Amino acid sequence: MKLAGVAIVFIYFFNHLTWAQDMSKADTLFNVQKYSEALKLYESITKKDSNNAYALFRTGNCLQALGQYAQALSAYEKADQKGYLKIAIMLRSARVNALLKKNDETFEWLTKAMNWGFSNKAMIENEADFTGIKNDERFKTILAKADSNAAPCAHIAEAQQFNFWVGEWDVKNPQGVTVGSSSITRILNECSIHEHYTNPGGYIGRSFNAYNASINKWQQFYVDNAGSVTLFHGTYHDDAMWFITDPFLQNGVMTITKMTFYNLASDHVRQLIENSTDDGKTWTTTFDGHYWRKK
């Protein structure tokens, strides 16, 4: 029994080694464009292992390169059924249908790829197989969708509402005395606005600001080098960004903080921070800063 077990293990590893060697040979042949020879090896692998999605996909690649388009589509379908990368299947299927001049099917596959999140506009734009459809209006729609997938926040109108704060600023009090400096930048593929505030006394504050489409609100997470952490939420209207906190305990007193950014001009933003300890009945100003865009 022990010898039988050893034999089974040996056969398993021998077969696995043979499979790996065949795959390596097939890939090498494929990479030097010897598609007919590579195809024989990939087909040999899939006969032994019909669940090998990669070998099925490569079989489709070889058939496509050899101009056997119907067979290529069949191989891609099988690779899809075995769990190969969806977007790769979609893009290859689109290319084959374009070569077959089946434009409607081509755009169906491209649309599926875009809906799956594909974002490489240049790859689509520069693909020679799509030459015959590039003057079709639907191709422009596909490229626009790829652009949108690459930078989704740049295509959400509400996510642009706080752009007036982006820039390099000198921050002054109402009397015109400089109290700090602030660098406001768009980051994370334009999905967040980052604040870096400093003042001459060594104070540093940073915030992340983002439009949260799931709640239809802006949110700001602010933290400073004194250990203070504040979470704001708000909306933009009437030429201002209106932020407010939920009630929180400060020095033993329940407090609400309200922070408003007034879009006064292209080079002037006012930031007003106010606190209330009576549930919003009255407000006390804690900061009144005027941002002047640096020249």
Question: End of a domain among 152, 178, 201?
Answer: 152
Residue 102, both tokens: 């089946």
Query: Do 276 and 237 fall within a single domain?
Result: yes
Residue 32, both tokens: 């030097």
Query: Do 254 and 118 fall within a single domain?
Result: no
Query: Do 25 and 140 fall within a single domain?
Result: yes
* C-alpha pair distances (Å), 137 with each of 142, 148, 267: 9, 17, 40
Query: Do 143 and 252 fall within a single domain?
Result: no
Query: Do 67 and 192 fall within a single domain?
Result: no
Question: End of a domain among 152, 177, 211?
Answer: 152
Query: Do 168 and 110 fall within a single domain?
Result: no
Distance CA 166, CA 154 (A): 14
Domain count, the chain: 2
**Tens place of pLDDT for every residue, the chain, 295 residues?**
455 444 444 444 445 556 789 999 999 999 999 999 999 999 999 999 999 999 999 999 999 999 999 999 999 999 999 999 999 999 999 999 999 999 999 999 999 999 999 999 999 999 999 999 999 999 999 999 999 999 999 999 999 999 999 999 999 999 999 999 999 999 999 999 999 999 999 999 999 999 999 999 999 999 999 999 999 999 999 999 999 999 999 999 999 999 999 999 999 999 999 999 999 999 999 999 999 999 8
Domain span holding position 6: 2-152
Query: Do 200 and 264 fall within a single domain?
Result: yes
Query: Do 171 and 142 fall within a single domain?
Result: no
Whole-prediction pTM: 0.72
Distance CA 213, CA 200 (A): 37
- Single-letter code of the amino acid located at 135: N
Residue 294, both tokens: 């640096």
The pLDDT of residue 12 is 43
Query: Do 76 and 184 fall within a single domain?
Result: no
The pLDDT of residue 18 is 64
Distance CA 199, CA 177 (A): 12
Distance CA 4, CA 23 (A): 29
136 CB burial (10 A radius; 0-12, 13-18, 19+): middle
The pLDDT of residue 284 is 98
The pLDDT of residue 2 is 52
Query: Do 8 and 146 fall within a single domain?
Result: yes
Question: End of a domain among 152, 184, 206?
Answer: 152
The pLDDT of residue 225 is 98
The pLDDT of residue 20 is 86
Query: Do 99 and 200 fall within a single domain?
Result: no
- CATH code (residue 199): 2.40.128.20
Query: Do 107 and 189 fall within a single domain?
Result: no
**Secondary structure of residue 196 in the 3-state scheme:** strand
**Dihedral sign computed on CA atoms, order 80, 83, 86, 89:** negative
Q: How are beta strands 268-276 and 284-293 bridged, if at all?
A: antiparallel
The pLDDT of residue 9 is 43
